[in-house]
Amino acid sequence: MKKITISGLQKKKAAGEKITMLTAYDASFAKMFDEQNVDILLIGDSLGMVLQGEDDTLPVTVDDIAYHTRAVRKGTQRAFVVADMPFMSYPTPVAAYENAAKIMAAGASMVKIEGGTWLAETISGLVERSVPVCGHLGLTPQSVHVIGGFKVQGREEDKAAKLLADAKALEAAGAQMLVLECVPTSLAKTVSEALSIPVIGIGAGAQTDGQVLVMHDMFGISANYMPKFSKNFLVETGDMRKAVQKYIEDVQSGAFPGPEHSFE
């Protein structure tokens, strides 16, 4: 079984092949997702909400992420493993280096950080120190109190232009992948076409290079609510493995996300 690498993901983008990503937090689910050929497993700071019962992702610590990353890595043979850097774990480049080292040592192949152009120096420094980086733009959950809630981003012309400029800046700084969350479909398409790195969408329409979902949302078992951009694949298949297979098939065919899961 050939292991997924960042160069392999970039080749998928170049070939127009859709990339699939799911969150995972333990060895058992990681093994199941890996066996179903999900491309990327993300240890998301979403664990604060779906595992710990918090209202947002802010209480999650580096130690929390490292713990779950170690568990996911033990269940993974093929998939590419990405781990979030949690709230205030990268306020300065030096802090980012120290915390990223802990997460990479736990088994991540790449770290994900939220924010725009202000992170260029941090990303460049991480890459120079052999830490691959995935950016995250649009709705950035760690900034939920600044943006006033979980809202669609980039609908206004000036904000769309800034998001595109931020995306280009992150790529120029060395980011090798980007997650776009809750942005209009047209903007996500523009960003995906403007970048040479894979762009993974969540609530960003079907024209990104791939999709990511929180596993609890995909199975319809989230404690609080089902986001508009998600879909319960378990209810229509009745089996977790079949649900993962259906998710992969629908992403690859372009059937998911549909208009009902996207924003204009």
- Binding-site annotation: residue ranges: 45-46, 84, 112, 114
What are the residue numbers of the active site?
181
DSSP 124-162: HHHHHTT--EEEEEES-GGGHHHHTSS-----SHHHHHH
Query: How many Cβ atoms from other residues are within 10 Å of residue 140's Cβ?
Result: 20
The C-alpha R_g of the chain, in whole angstroms, comes to: 17
Identify residue 109 by its one-letter amino acid code: S
What is the H or E stretch that residue 21 is in?
Answer: strand 19-23
**253/235 Cα distance (integer angstroms):** 20
Residue numbering of the annotated binding site for 3-methyl-2-oxobutanoate: 45-46, 84, 112
C-alpha distances out from residue 76 to 19, 29, 98, 226, Å? 17, 9, 25, 27
Which residue's entry shows tokens 């259906």?
246
Angle at 99 between CA 93 and CA 105, to 5 degrees: 130
Q: Judge whether 254 and 63 are in contact, CB under 8 Å.
A: no
Q: Among residues 64, 6, 72, which one has the least CA distance to residue 33?
A: 72
* 19-23 and 40-43 beta bridge pairing: parallel
Assign 3-class secondary structure to 167-208.
HHHHHHHCCCEEEEECCCHHHHHHHHHHCCCCEEEECCCCCC
